[in-house]
Amino acid sequence: MTETGARKFGGEAEKLAVKYLSDKGYQILEQGYRFSRKEIDIICKTGDTIVFVEVKAARTAKFGAPETWVTA
C-alpha cells in the first residue's frame, strides 16, 4: 500500500472512530492534534473526563488484532 493509500485508509478509520464516539455521547474536542512530530488522533470528553484516542486499523489480521499494537 502506498503512503497516500495508507493515509486515506487511516483517515477513514479515524472518521469511523469519531462517529462511534459521538454516537456514544462523547464530545469531540480535537482531531489530528499535532505537537512536535507526534499526533493524537482524537481528543474527546465524556462528563469530566478527557480521553485521548489512538486509532488503529488493519486490512488483514496478518499482524494480529489492532488493539495488541498499542503500548503504554
21 contacts: CB under 8 Å, gap ≥ 6: 28, 42, 44, 53
Least confident of 37-41, 52-56, 59-63: 59-63
Higher pLDDT, residue 67 or 36: 36
**pTM for the predicted model, two decimal places:** 0.78
Distance between CA atoms of residues 62 and 41, nearest Å? 23
> Which domains does the chain show, CATH number per domain?
3-69 (3.40.1350.10)
Q: Quote the pLDDT of residue 72.
A: 65
